[in-house]
Amino acid sequence: MSWIACTGVRRRHWGRFGAAGLLVTTSVEGVSHVLLDERADWVHQGGTVGVPGGAIHPGEEPLEAALREAGEEVVGLEELAVDVLAHHVQPCAECERWTYTTIVTRAPSTLPVRPRSMESAGLSWVAVHDVERLPLHPGFAAAWPTLRRLVSR
């Protein structure tokens, strides 16, 4: 994979074909929770929180990429029966050439998970009403208002 530069601005994105991630949601005592990934300090945008995800490979659909990336990054989702509730496409605000697709799926419970990749500093189930209090990855922060509505349905 490689970086793609925005047209006319000094910004770049990982993945020539865009990127995709998996936002897993469940309910705990009637409160919606989402599985979030804290990015390791050494990676791009390290120390921020978002969803497991990454670059879309050539010929890959966003759902395939989101599932592959989640499998590469998270131990504990192997048995998750994917129940796609929604997908959200967030274009880059500056160039709109590059997009990040978030696939929203449901888990039956707060599955026990742990990082599979050194790119992750940790995974946690977070109540939807607490997400904004975290140091969100800028792209996830931009998409979160719409994603929150999708998971709160």
Percent of the chain, pLDDT > 90?
64
**Per-residue tokens: 142:** 């931009």
List the domain range (segments joined by +) for residue 75: 9-151
Residue whose entry in the numeric block shows the structure tokens 């936002």: 23
CB count within 10 Å of CB 39 equals 19
pLDDT computed for residue 78 by the predictor? 86
Residue 2 lies in a domain: no
Mean pLDDT of 53-59: 89
pLDDT computed for residue 112 by the predictor? 96
How many degrees, rounded to 5, is the angle at CA 38 between CA 93 and CA 15? Answer: 45
Task: Output the pTM of the full model.
Answer: 0.89
Give the chain's length. 153
Residue 19 lies in a domain: yes
| Average pLDDT score over the chain | 88
Please state whether beta strands 74-75 and 31-39 pair in parallel, antiparallel, or not at all (unpaired). unpaired
DSSP code at position 29: T
Res. 98: pLDDT tops 90: no
Q: In this predicted model, what pLDDT tens digit does every residue of 1-50 receive, in sequence order?
A: 565 566 655 665 555 668 899 999 999 999 999 999 999 988 878 899 99
Residue 140 lies in a domain: yes
Residue 101 C-alpha from the chain's centroid: 8
Residue 64 lies in a domain: yes
pLDDT computed for residue 153 by the predictor? 73
Confidence band of 92 (pLDDT split at 50, 70, 90): low
How far apart are alpha carbons 52 and 45 in whole angstroms? 14
pLDDT computed for residue 104 by the predictor? 97
Domain of 21, CATH number, reads 3.90.79.10
Residue 1 lies in a domain: no
Res. 91: pLDDT tops 60: yes
Confidence band of 127 (pLDDT split at 50, 70, 90): very high
User: From residue 98, how far is each of 1, 4, 59 by CA, in Å?
Assistant: 14, 8, 16
